[in-house]
Amino acid sequence: MKDVRLTVAINRPAQEVFDFTLNPENTPKWIDGIVKEQTDESPTKLGTVYKNQGSDGNWNEYEITAYEPGIMFIMSKKDGNYHVKYTLKPLDDNQCELEYYEWVDDGDLDEPFTQDILEKLKDVIEKPKRYLITLKSGKEHLTDYFDNDEAVLRWVNTGAAGIVYRNAHIRLLPDDIASIQPVGEENET
C-alpha cells in the first residue's frame, strides 16, 4: 500500500489539536510505537526537525516540509521517501476534523496508520485534566477535572473558583494566582 487517508472528529478546537499533535512530548501518549520524540526548535516552523525513538530503540528524523499554522503541516522523513500530512478543519468552535494522510514515493508503507491510532489521539486529547493552581502565597491546590484549558481559566476568571482550606471555603481571584499548570497522568494520584 502506497498511501493511507484517515479522518477523525475530535471534540476540541482545531488550534488545540494542531498544537497538541506538534508537541513532541505528546506523541508517545497516542502513538504506541514511539517512546520519545524531540525537536530542534520551538515553536515549530517550516524546516523544524523532529526525531523520534521507536520501541525498538531506533531513531528516525523528520522535517516539516510544509506548514500553515493552525491548519496543516507535512512531515517528511529525512530520506525523502515517506511523508505525512495533518490537516485540521474546524467543524464548530469546539470540534474539528483531523485528516491524516501518509504516503511513500517508492515502495509500500512499512507500518501504515490505522483508525485505532487516531481514535487513541481523540481519547487522549478529549480526556478531562486536573490542574495545579499555585497561589502567590505559595499554597498549591489540585483542581477537579476540566475538559480543557479554557474551562479552567473561565472557572477562575468568572470568580467561581474556590478552594476549601481548614474547613473554610476560600474564593480564588485571578490576582491571587501565580500559575495554573495541567497535571500529567503520570503525576496524578
Q: List pLDDT tens digits, range 113-144.
A: 999 999 999 999 998 777 788 888 887 877 77
Q: Which H or E run contains 153? A: helix 149-157
**For the chain, percent helix, then strand, then coil, each to nearest 5?**
20, 45, 35
**φ, ψ at 8 (rounded to 5°):** -150, 140
- Average pLDDT of every residue of the chain: 87
Per the model's pLDDT, the better-predicted residue between 115 and 146 turns out to be 115
Segment 103-120 mean pLDDT: 95
Residue 10 has pLDDT above 90, yes or no: yes
Give pLDDT, residue 60. 95
Segment 47-62 mean pLDDT: 95
Pull the grid cell for residue 123: 481519547
Roughly what angle, to the nearest 10 degrees, separates helices 115-126 and 14-22? 110
As a whole number of angstroms, the distance between CA 15 and CA 133 comes to 24
Q: What is the pLDDT of residue 189?
A: 36
User: 28-37, 97-106, 149-158, 173-182: which has the minimum mean pLDDT?
Assistant: 149-158
Task: Report the alpha-carbon distance of residue 189 to residue 184 in Å, rounded.
Answer: 10
- Please say if the pLDDT value at position 16 is more than 50: yes
Q: How confident is the model at residue 170 (pLDDT cuts 50, 70, 90)?
A: low
Residue 21's closest CA among 44, 53, 47, 41?
A: 44
State residue 136's pLDDT score: 85
d(CA 83, CA 96): 22
- Using left for φ > 0, alpha for ψ between -120 and 50, and beta otherwise, residue 20 falls in alpha
Domains of the chain: 3-126 (3.30.530.20), 130-187 (no CATH)
3-state secondary structure of 116: helix
Indicate if the pLDDT at residue 168 is higher than 70.
Answer: no
The whole-number average pLDDT for the span 65-91 is 96
